[in-house]
């Protein structure tokens, strides 16, 4: 296969370009996002079938078998999207930073704390921006409204957050995308449902609450057995995680956080997100589908001794499709828009809390994490 199998960019084209490393399932969504933003884009993948499928879906894209060949054609200030399995995230991001590119890195952004230091260190050394694709479900009108309501004190003093998302049979590499077996390999994926969905859960919750510290008080991370488990390869990652944390909010309030996420479990399926305060409770929708382009925020409060529930329905407006959010967040930040999703200290804090849940599940002892404003962790 030739290094370049489709279109050639015009020499006079000054638009920022997007270089997608890995042309598998998620790369197609990033390509859609680049297309909608009107940015020229390329992809590379050593896997011939993935690359050919990408080229067929996006005939306007340049395609390469090799990442170095693609980056050799990139310009300082372009955007790289790292869309390979997590084991390769740091190495690919380092190549992109070294070539002068800003990096949107798929989630989980890294596999452990040492890799996090390497990744954020590379971003700082290159003076380039990083978006962790865990922001995929952030920036929703419901979250911005919930944040405003909490700041206005509509629930009084918050004291408890409960976030539960339990699915019975939704393990990537098994029931979902079964050909991508790397999802169930610990070395390749870094972990199971906590790495796959936990990073979204915490990123979206912390986008609203903005905690400055967290202590994981107790945690469990387990894998269940099912008749659908593959026979040819072992499942090395957890399918069910539960933890109790104490969050410290920016005003120094302590809030207990009961958290659970499963993509494989035997009990009932549940989905809930509630923030309880002494004068009310709040819930906001953040998971798709968003029927009829609208999204809701629910407020429960006391009215003369009676409980009332008020549902506010907000238009989605120009909010991008969730799969397009990571590239949009980077593009906005580079164009002078919101910078909160390229904040390295927040990226580092969110991931450190994920790691702290694993550590407490393993050791049985509490683990503390603090935000380091202006720093990377």
Q: Based on CB atoms, which residue is closest to ligand NAD, 47 or 364?
A: 47
Q: Is 26 in the site for ligand NAD (CB under 6 A)?
A: yes
Q: Is 191 in the site for ligand NAD (CB under 6 A)?
A: no
Q: b/e string for 16-34 if b means 16 or more Cβ within 10 A?
A: bbbbbbbbbebbbbbbbbb
The 210-249 site mask, x for binding ligand NAD (CB under 6 A), equals ----------------------------------------
Q: Is 168 in the site for ligand NAD (CB under 6 A)?
A: no
Nearest C-alpha neighbor of 276 from the set 290, 256, 252: 256
The 302-341 site mask, x for binding ligand NAD (CB under 6 A), equals ----------------------------------------
Q: Is 199 in the site for ligand NAD (CB under 6 A)?
A: no
Nearest C-alpha neighbor of 135 from the set 361, 315, 311, 346: 346
Contact 96, 34 (CB under 8 A): no
Q: State both tokens at 138.
A: 């952030």
Contact 262, 175 (CB under 8 A): no
- Runs of H (alpha helix) within 99-140: 113-126
Q: Based on CB atoms, which residue is closest to ligand NAD, 26 or 299?
A: 26
The piece of 44-52, 212-220, 256-264, 281-289 that touches ligand NAD (CB under 6 A) is 44-52
Q: Is 192 in the site for ligand NAD (CB under 6 A)?
A: no
C-alpha–C-alpha distance, residues 103 and 132, integer Å:
9
Question: H helices then E strands: how many in the chain?
Answer: 11, 15
The 125-164 site mask, x for binding ligand NAD (CB under 6 A), equals ----------------------------------------
First to last CA, the chain: 43
Q: Is 50 in the site for ligand NAD (CB under 6 A)?
A: yes
Q: Which member of 16, 107, 129, 261 binds ligand NAD (CB under 6 A)?
A: 107
Q: How far is the CB of 33 from ligand NAD (least distance, A)?
A: 13
Torsion of CA 111, 204, 323, 377, to 10 degrees: -40
Q: How far is the CB of 192 from ligand NAD (least distance, A)?
A: 11
63 strand-pairing partners: 43
Question: Among positive and negative, which fits the CA dihedral 157, 371, 297, 245?
Answer: negative
| Number of chain positions touching ligand NAD (CB under 6 A) | 22
Nearest C-alpha neighbor of 168 from the set 267, 272, 271: 267
Q: Is 7 in the site for ligand NAD (CB under 6 A)?
A: no
Q: Based on CB atoms, which residue is closest to ligand NAD, 177 or 244?
A: 177
Contacts of residue 258, Cβ cutoff 8 Å, sequence gap at least 6: 160, 161, 162, 163, 164, 244
> Going by DSSP bridges, is the β-strand pair 240-248/213-222 parallel, antiparallel, or unpaired?
antiparallel
The 77-96 site mask, x for binding ligand NAD (CB under 6 A), equals ------xxxx-x--------
SS3 302: strand
Q: Based on CB atoms, which residue is closest to ligand NAD, 257 or 351?
A: 351
Q: How far is the CB of 22 from ligand NAD (least distance, A)?
A: 3
Residues that bind ligand NAD (CB under 6 A): 21-27, 44-47, 50, 67, 83-86, 88, 106-107, 177, 180
């Amino acid at each position: 296969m030739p290094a370049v199998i489709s279109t050639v960019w015009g020499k006079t084209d000054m638009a920022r370009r997007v270089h997608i490393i890995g042309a598998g399932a998620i790369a197609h969504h990033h390509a859609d996002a680049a297309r909608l933003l009107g940015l020229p884009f390329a992809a590379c993948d050593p896997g011939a079938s993935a690359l050919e499928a990408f080229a067929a879906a996006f005939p306007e894209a340049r395609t390469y078998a090799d990442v170095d060949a693609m980056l050799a054609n990139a310009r300082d200030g372009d955007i790289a999207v790292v869309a390979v399995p997590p084991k390769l995230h740091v190495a690919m991001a380092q190549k992109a930073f070294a070539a002068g590119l800003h990096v949107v890195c798929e989630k989980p952004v890294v596999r452990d704390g040492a890799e996090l230091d390497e990744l954020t260190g590379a971003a700082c050394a290159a003076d380039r921006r990083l978006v962790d694709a865990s922001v995929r479900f952030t920036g929703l009108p419901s979250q911005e409204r919930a944040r405003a309501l909490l700041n206005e004190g509509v629930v009084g003093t918050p004291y408890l957050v409960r976030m539960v998302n339990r699915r019975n049979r939704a393990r990537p590499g098994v029931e979902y995308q079964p050909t991508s077996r790397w999802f169930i390999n610990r070395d390749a994926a870094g972990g199971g449902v906590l790495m796959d969905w936990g990073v979204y859960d915490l990123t979206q919750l912390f986008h609203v609450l903005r905690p400055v510290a967290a202590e994981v008080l107790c945690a469990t991370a387990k894998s269940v057995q099912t008749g659908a488990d593959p026979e040819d390869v072992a499942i090395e990652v957890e399918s069910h995680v539960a933890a109790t944390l104490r969050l410290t909010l920016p005003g120094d309030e302590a809030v207990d956080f009961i958290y659970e996420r499963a993509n494989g479990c035997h009990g009932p399926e549940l989905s809930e997100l509630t923030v309880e305060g002494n004068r009310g409770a709040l819930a906001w929708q953040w998971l798709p589908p968003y029927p009829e382009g609208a999204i809701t925020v629910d407020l429960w409060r006391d009215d003369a001794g009676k409980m009332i529930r008020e549902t506010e329905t907000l238009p989605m407006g120009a909010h991008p499709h969730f799969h397009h959010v990571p590239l949009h967040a980077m593009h906005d930040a580079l164009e002078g828009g919101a910078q909160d999703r390229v904040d390295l200290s927040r990226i580092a804090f969110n991931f450190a809390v994920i790691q702290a849940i694993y550590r407490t599940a393993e050791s049985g002892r509490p683990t503390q994490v603090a935000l380091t404003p202006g720093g990377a962790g």
